[in-house]
């Protein structure tokens, strides 16, 4: 939720204080500040005071919003009320200029607060409904990519959704089923064989990756030795021979070395591979991964011959369209392979489970409807844009592009490129403008061009169905927020967040006091602020920084 710097501060600020007396004083300071920010007039005045200062950057706004989210997480009902007040103020500012731009970016504290609020309130829906479809889609995409050649140096692949990552040169390859044995101990014992699918054009490193991936898929947990500490051997005529990324037999063209593949080692379909640990079975010629070489892409090649990749950029303009047609055909084959998973994922987001949207979505969309009515906004496009900016483009896009936020998985640059294409199709489904696709249109737009009109109709129906639903009662929503708070009640360090929050109050103390005077807050509230300052000043003289 915060920057790396703020995260490390929040993790360490209490652990570093070893004296019990100081801990007690810090707790007292934090309790005083906690009571202060529980006053809505103080908190909204403080946020407005901070935002009027030019030195209060967008990064600062995001940090304050996240600190408030943590500090008030145990009282989500109150946090929701504060967010609504701040949103109404933001809407009043936007209504006089361009209401369609509201919530389009994250340039205010309340916009980041809304992002955090959506993340908390939709966590259950993501976990129980959308998460499964997201996992299946990413798995299908990863498996499809692995079915064809992937250049180990550039990561370009035959099967991809993104033209920038397309291995456009024709490649001949064969599928192999390998019988993989895992060494147990140091006396030669091996495990039961595990069947692993590979390609004859796979490098030794890629084979290791596929073995470890198959192990995790089969058993549900990762192999106990990391990739860089794994070595593999191939059985030939009853003897095992080491397979290395580069060795004396590697092909060399000029000053560039080709990475060894299964084809290079003449590994056959059904061949036996043994997995060993470099620590218990050190190789005869120890070597780190060639990928550790800072000039890896200059010294080595795999499927793309040296300098051939540059040839694509030298094609005359008239050849580009023909290339695009060839590329689009290749991309379409991958799109078809994963399309049912993409559709199910999208519909799990904008479909209505048991004819009911998540409480938070219904509640917030009704809030937007009410504000539009109060502001005499009659253009339906404005409401559509507000809802789109506040939910799909603020929350779901981030999840679609970053599944590693949800699952214990690695997102490679290539996978990131493919997910960006899917995320773009998702965004286009919420757009009100018609796409004009000519022959020079980007391939990622052409890829989903036939699907977008259908998706757009589904999105409009989704918004209409939510609007037609019976409202969420205040009691229902309060119960919902209370349950969401309880799910994570021991996960956040509220005292650490309050300590970090006070640093902003200290920096802008004079401006906050002036804003409180302008807003005519009761004298006791200003006295409370002064008392909090004295408490923290006393703590500073004791030992915190």
pLDDT value at position 13?
A: 38
Model pLDDT, residue 100: 82
Element (H, E) at 468: helix 452-468
Query: Look-up: residue for tokens 């005529």?
Result: 237
The pLDDT value given to residue 323: 57
Contact in structure between 417 and 399 (CB atoms under 8 Å): no
Q: Where in the chain is the domain with CATH 3.10.20.90?
A: 172-302
CATH of the domain spanning 122-171+306-472: 1.10.506.10
Q: Given this model, what pLDDT does residue 21 score? A: 46
Q: 172-302 has which CATH code?
A: 3.10.20.90
> Rounded distance, CA 418 to CA 338, Å?
11
Q: Are 411 and 402 in contact (CB under 8 A)?
A: yes
Q: What is the pLDDT of residue 528?
A: 93
The answer to whether 430 and 388 are in contact (CB under 8 A) is yes
CA-nearest of 393, 403, 394 to 345 is 403
Q: Low-confidence residues of the chain, pLDDT below 70? A: 1-26, 94-97, 170, 186, 281-288, 292, 307-326, 353-354, 540-545
The model's pTM is 0.87
How far apart CA 400 and CA 398 sit, in angstroms, is 6
Q: How many CA atoms lie within 13 A of 57 on its CB side?
A: 4
Confidence at residue 9, expressed as pLDDT on a 0 to 100 scale: 47
* Stretch(es) of the chain classified as CATH 1.10.506.10: 122-171+306-472
H/E element holding 207?
helix 204-219
pLDDT value at residue 14: 34
Query: For residues 190 and 184, is the Cβ–Cβ distance under 8 A?
Result: yes
């Amino acid at each position: 939720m915060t920057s790396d710097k703020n995260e490390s501060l929040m993790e360490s600020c209490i652990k570093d204080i070893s004296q019990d007396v100081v801990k007690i004083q810090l707790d007292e300071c934090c309790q005083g500040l906690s009571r202060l920010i529980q006053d809505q007039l103080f908190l909204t005045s403080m946020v407005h005071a901070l935002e009027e200062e030019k030195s209060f950057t967008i990064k600062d706004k995001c940090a304050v919003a996240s600190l408030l989210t943590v500090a008030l997480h145990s009282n989500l009902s109150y946090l929701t009320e504060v967010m609504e007040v701040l949103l109404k103020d933001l809407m009043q500012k936007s209504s006089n200029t361009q209401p369609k731009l509201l919530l389009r970016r994250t340039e205010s504290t309340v916009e980041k607060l809304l992002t955090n609020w959506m993340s908390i309130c939709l966590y259950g829906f993501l976990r129980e409904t959308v998460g499964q479809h997201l996992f299946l889609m990413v798995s299908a995409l990863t498996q499809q990519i692995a079915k064809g050649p992937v250049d180990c140096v550039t990561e370009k692949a035959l099967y991809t959704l993104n033209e920038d990552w397309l291995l456009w040169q024709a490649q001949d390859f064969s599928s192999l089923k390998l019988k993989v044995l895992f060494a147990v101990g140091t006396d030669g014992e091996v495990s039961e064989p595990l069947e692993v699918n590979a390609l004859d054009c796979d490098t030794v490193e890629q084979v290791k990756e596929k073995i470890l991936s198959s192990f995790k898929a089969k058993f549900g947990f990762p192999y106990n030795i990391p990739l860089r500490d794994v070595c593999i051997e191939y059985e030939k005529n009853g003897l095992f021979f080491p397979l290395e990324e580069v060795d004396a037999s590697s092909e060399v063209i000029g000053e560039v070395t080709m990475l060894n593949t299964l084809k290079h080692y003449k590994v056959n379909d059904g061949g036996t591979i043994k997995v060993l640990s470099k620590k218990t079975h050190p190789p005869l010629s120890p070597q780190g991964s060639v990928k550790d070489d800072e000039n890896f892409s200059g010294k080595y090649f795999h499927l793309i011959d040296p300098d051939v990749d540059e040839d694509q950029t030298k094609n005359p303009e008239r050849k580009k369209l023909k290339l695009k047609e060839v590329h689009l055909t290749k991309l379409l084959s991958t799109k078809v392979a994963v399309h049912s998973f993409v559709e199910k994922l999208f519909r799990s987001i904008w479909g209505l489970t048991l004819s009911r949207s998540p409480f938070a979505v219904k509640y917030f969309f009704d809030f937007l409807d009410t504000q539009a009515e109060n502001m005499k906004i009659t253009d339906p496009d404005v409401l559509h844009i507000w809802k789109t900016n506040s939910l799909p483009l603020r929350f779901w896009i981030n999840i679609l592009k970053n599944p590693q936020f949800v699952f214990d998985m690695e997102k490679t640059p290539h996978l990131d490129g493919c997910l960006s294409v899917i995320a773009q199709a998702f965004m286009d489904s919420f757009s009100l403008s018609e796409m004009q696709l000519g022959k020079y249109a980007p391939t990622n737009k052409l890829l989903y061009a036939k699907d977008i009109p259908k998706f757009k109709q589904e999105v409009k129906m989704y918004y209409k169905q939510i609007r037609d639903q019976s409202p969420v009662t205040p009691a229902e929503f309060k119960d919902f927020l209370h349950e969401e708070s309880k799910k994570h009640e021991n996960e956040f360090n509220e005292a650490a967040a309050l300590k970090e929050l006070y640093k902003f109050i200290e920096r802008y103390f004079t401006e906050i006091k002036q804003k409180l005077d302008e807003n005519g807050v009761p004298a006791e509230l200003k006295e409370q602020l002064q008392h909090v300052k004295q408490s923290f000043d006393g703590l500073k003289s004791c030992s915190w920084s």
